[in-house]
Amino acid sequence: MSRPKKERIVHNPPVFVNFKPVGVRASSLAQIFLTLDEYEAIRLADYLGMEHSEAAEEMEISRSTFTRLVEKARKKVAEFMVEGKELIIEGGNIHFRGNLIRCLDCGHMFKTSFEDEMTKCPVCGSANLLDLAGGFGHGNCCRGRHRGRR
């Protein structure tokens, strides 16, 4: 019996979660799923250019686990690009360190912690807010689970 996967830390939820080739209906495409921890591995290693040991520490996993994770993620991204599949980011055994909130009226997006409850947009005062972590089923479970980094 394999041991349970350790929960991984993702800095913030992704802003965009669906990607597809232009001019092709999503219903006609095969789908490929990138987990939230794979997304975070790509963000840390390729977007931010972190060393694997530093990125692994940020995600609270071992360096070897991070390397396997980023290699798996890169393969999926390459498959999406080369084969023209729909890429969907979802799932994974994760907790978010912070949250993103989008105002559906003015479009303003702002970062927040899970300890701060946002009920109104700081720009326009609207209560029509989208909780991006909540869209992945996270929020209360992530409260107090981070080490207070970045």
Question: Phi and psi dihedrals of 111, rounded to 5?
Answer: -85, 150
User: Furthest-apart CA pair in the chain: how many Å?
Assistant: 53
Is there a shared CATH topology between the 8-95 domain and the 98-142 domain? Answer: no
Q: 140: pLDDT confidence band, cut at 50, 70 and 90?
A: low
Range 98-142 classified under CATH 3.30.200: no
Strand partners of residue 116 = none
**Cα torsion 26, 32, 36, 41: sign:** negative
Q: Could you state, in order of their start, the residue ranges of all structural domains in the chain?
A: 8-95, 98-142
Summarised one tens digit per residue, pLDDT across range 87-114 is: 999 988 888 988 899 999 999 999 988 7
**Exposure on the CB side of residue 12, measured as CA atoms within 13 A:** 16
Summarised one tens digit per residue, pLDDT across range 45-99 is: 999 999 999 999 999 999 999 999 999 999 999 999 999 999 999 988 888 988 8
**Percent of the chain whose predicted confidence (pLDDT) is above 70:** 89
C-alpha distance from residue 109 to each of 85, 103, 120, 123, 129 (Å): 29, 6, 12, 10, 9
Interatomic CA distance for residues 91 and 137, integer angstroms = 10
CATH architecture group of domain 8-95: Orthogonal Bundle (1.10)
pLDDT score of 150: 43
Instruction: Give 144 or 2, the one with higher predicted confidence.
Output: 2
Interatomic CA distance for residues 50 and 31, integer angstroms = 29
pLDDT score of 56: 96
